Amino acid sequence: MRSDRAPLWLRIAAGGGLLFLHLPILLIFVYAFTTEERTYQWPPPGLTLHWFGAAWNRPDIWAALGLSVKVASISTVIALVLGTLCAAAVSRSRFFGREVISLLVILPIALPGIITGISLRSAFSLAEIPFSFWTIVLGHATFCVVVVYNNAVARFRRVSGNLVEASMDLGANAFQTFRFVILPNIATALLAGGMLAFALSFDEVIVTTFTAGQQQTLPIWMLEELVRPRQRPVTNVVAMVVVIVTFLPILGAYYLTRGTDTVAGSGK
C-alpha cells in the first residue's frame, strides 16, 4: 500500500522544516543587497549592489580569503595523503587493534571542535610551537583526514585484494599496481573526500580560534566584522561567497560518489 503522494500534513511539515533550515540563509542573501548599513532592518529600505564593490575593494577581505583558501588547500592535501594511507592499511591488512585504529581516526570528527581546539592549543604551547599558518593547517587536518579516510576506506573495501594480485601476476610492480589499478578505482572517492575536506576547512571557526595567532581566516574575519557597526552588508556579501564556495564542492562530491557507486559495485 503506497500512495504516490504523501499526506498533506506531512508535506506541510516537510516544507516547514525546509523553510526553518533555509530561510535564515536566504535572509543573509537578501541583506547583502540592502541599503541600510548599520542595522538589519526588515524589509530592507532599498536594494543596491554597492556592497559588492565595497567588498571587492577591501584588502582585509582579500587577505582573509587568501588565507582560508591556502589553509583549506594544504589541509586537504595533507588529509589526502594521510587519509589514503590510513585507509589502505586498515582495509588491506588484518592486524591486532585494527578496529581501535579505525575508531581513533574517526574520533576527531565526533569530538566537539572546542575539545579539539583546546587540546591542540595546549599541545602547541607545551611543545612551544608558536601559533602560525601551520598550526591552523594542523588543526584543520585533524578533521579533514577523517573525511578522506571515510571515503577512501569504503572504496578500498571494494577494490578486492584479488585485483592487486592480478596486476602483480601480469607483471606490474607495487608502484605500477597503485598507478594503474588502485588509483583509478579510488580516484573518485578521493576527489569527493578532498572536496568535502576543503569545504569543511573553509568554513571552520572553532578549531581555528584556538590554533590561529594573529591570522584571520575568512570565517573569523566575518565573526569579528559582525560586532562592528560599519558596512554590515559587506559581511553578507562575503557570506554569500562562502556559501557558494563550500556548497559547490559538496554538491560535486555528492554527484561523484553517487555516479560511481553503481558502476564500481557491479564491476566485479
Partner 1 sequence: MSIAVSFQGVARHFGAVRAVDGVDIDIAEGEFFAMLGPSGSGKTTCLRLIAGFEQPTAGSIRLFGAEVRDLPPYRRAVNTVFQDYALFPHLNVRDNVAYGLMIAGQPRAARHRAAEEALEMVALPGYGARKPSELSGGQRQRVALARALVNKPRVLLLDEPLGALDLKLREAMQDELKSLQRRLGITFVFVTHDQGEALSMADRVAVFNEGRIVQVGAPEDIYYRPEVPFVADFVGSSNILPPALTGLPRIAAIRPEAVRLAGTGLRATVTAASFLGAATRITLDAGGTRLTALLPRGAARPEVGAAVHLDWDAADLHQMAGGA
- Candidate ranges 34-42, 79-87, 159-167, 243-251; the one touching partner 1 (CB under 8 A): 159-167
Q: Is 185 in the site for partner 1 (CB under 8 A)?
A: yes
Q: How many Å apart are CA 9 and CA 72, to the nearest integer?
A: 43
Q: How many Å apart are CA 260 and CA 263, to the nearest integer?
A: 5
Q: Is 93 in the site for partner 1 (CB under 8 A)?
A: no
Cell numbers at 247, concatenated: 556548497
Q: Which residues contact 144 (CB under 8 A, 6 or more apart)?
A: 75, 76, 78, 79, 83, 197, 198, 200, 201
Q: Quick one: which of 69, 129, 223, 264 contacts partner 1 (CB under 8 A)?
A: 264
Task: State the DSSP code for 44.
Answer: -
Q: Quick one: which of 176, 247, 248, 254 contacts partner 1 (CB under 8 A)?
A: 176
- Candidate ranges 4-12, 167-175, 231-239, 240-248; the one touching partner 1 (CB under 8 A): 167-175
Q: Is 110 in the site for partner 1 (CB under 8 A)?
A: no
Q: Find the radius of gyration of the CA atoms of the chain.
A: 23
- Candidate ranges 91-99, 114-122, 178-186, 248-256; the one touching partner 1 (CB under 8 A): 178-186
Q: Is 259 in the site for partner 1 (CB under 8 A)?
A: no
| Cβ nearer to partner 1, comparing 180 with 255 | 180
Q: Is 157 in the site for partner 1 (CB under 8 A)?
A: no
Q: How many Å apart are CA 253 and CA 268, to the nearest integer?
A: 24
Cα 152 to the chain's mean position, in Å?
A: 15
Residues of this chain that interact with partner 1 (CB under 8 A) are 160, 162-163, 165-173, 176, 180-181, 184-185, 263-264, 266-268
